Copies of this chain bind each other. A is one copy, B any other.
Amino acid sequence: MRVSFIGSGNVASHLALACAKAKLSVIDIYSPSLSNAQALADQCGARAISDFSLLNQEVDLIIVAANDNALPSIAQQLALCSAPVVHTAGSVDVEVLRSAHHPYGVLYPLQTFSKNKEIEIAKVPFFAEASNEQLLMLLSQLVEQLGASFHRASSEQRLHLHIAAVFACNFSNYMYSLANDLLEKHQLPFEALSPLILETAEKIQHMSPVQAQTGPAKRNDDQTIEKHLQALANEPLMFQLYQLISTEIKKKQNL
């Protein structure tokens, strides 16, 4: 399978490298910055370009992994190409890529990608949607070759998957960072929380989040909640979140 990438950011990098590792042919890496394209292309034996007109048309798939906001203009640039085009965004409708000249679709990897942190691609669930069954088959073959799990999801389902991921990943991470700030203020090492954070995530691999819930709110322990709120008197944001989320945990557990 011959695949090209538009983009050289986190998602493009992780996917292009995973494709190269899985012995797919990565043909072109496009980025408006040629040096960025080159850095990634070098790692996966591809050609770097910064001009859409140079894109090799003899490929099985073009994967656009760019900023959501850049998708409409990239779609315009690719409107006349004949190879199938997919984007990787959680919250952008598949129709942004509509063209009379090529099949189009979405291949959404549900994972958090950071530079300098390797991802085991086999553990990434991919959610796909396509304008025709042939492209859907191709996407499923590609995912299979990566050793990952393949699912179908409509644009609307994908939007909700993305929102769920924001809560489960981005907002959880933000909870970690509030904890980090509080510990720093009290000369305590954030590392002390590492085992707890890992255990919290591991728990829900085997039980539901409602079953896994622990803590003062879950126990209806108003005395501890009151103590914590008093201690947070000078932290208005943490105070507000503590109060709001504790109230909601209590409600949920008493359903």
Q: A residues touching B (Cβ–Cβ < 8 Å)? A: 10, 67-69, 91, 110-114, 117, 119, 123-125, 127, 151, 153, 156-157, 159-180, 182-183, 185-188, 190, 192-219, 221, 223-224, 227-228, 231-232, 237-238, 240-242, 244-245, 248-249, 252
Does B200 lie within 8 Å of A167, measured CB to CB? no
Candidate in A10, A171, A186 with the most chain B CB atoms within 10 angstroms:
A171
B192/A151 in contact, CB under 8 A: yes
- Residue among A117, A177, A210, A214 with max Cβ neighbours from chain B (10 Å): A177
* Bound Cα distance A186, B165 (Å): 14
* B112 lies within 8 A of A203 (CB): yes
The answer to whether residues A110 and B197 also contact, given A167-B179, A209-B177 and a CB cut-off of 8 A, is: no
CA distance A148 to B201 in the complex (A): 20
A69 touches B223 (CB 8 A): yes
Of all chain B residues, the one with the shortest Cβ separation from A154 is B186
Kindly report which residue of chain B lies nearest to residue A115, judged by CB atoms: B211
Shortest distance from the beta carbon of A221 to any chain B beta carbon, whole Å: 6
Residue from the list B156, B182, B219 in contact with A160, Cβ < 8 A: B182
Q: Could you show 18 A-B contacts with beta carbons less than 8 Å apart?
A: A114-B203, A117-B207, A119-B199, A159-B227, A159-B228, A161-B192, A164-B183, A166-B216, A167-B175, A167-B241, A168-B179, A169-B215, A172-B201, A173-B200, A174-B213, A177-B209, A194-B204, A241-B245
Q: How far is the CA of A244 from the CA of B207 in the complex (A)?
A: 28
Contact A167 B238 (CB under 8 A): yes
Do residues A248 and B174 form an inter-chain contact, with CB atoms below 8 A? Answer: yes
Flag if B69 contacts A177 (CB, 8 Å). Answer: no
Residues of B within 8 A of A157 (CB): 186-188
Residues of chain B contacted by A68 (CB below 8 angstroms)? 221, 223-224
Partner of A170, one of B110, B119, B185, B213: B213
A54 CB to closest chain B CB (Å) equals 28
Besides the known contacts A163-B228, A172-B175, A201-B201, 15 further A-B residue pairs in the complex with CB atoms under 8 A apart: A67-B219, A69-B223, A111-B195, A117-B203, A117-B207, A160-B188, A166-B228, A169-B196, A169-B200, A170-B215, A174-B209, A179-B209, A180-B210, A197-B201, A237-B248
CA distance A240 to B245 in the complex (A): 11
Give the distance in Å from the alpha carbon of A70 to the alpha carbon of B160 in the complex. Answer: 44
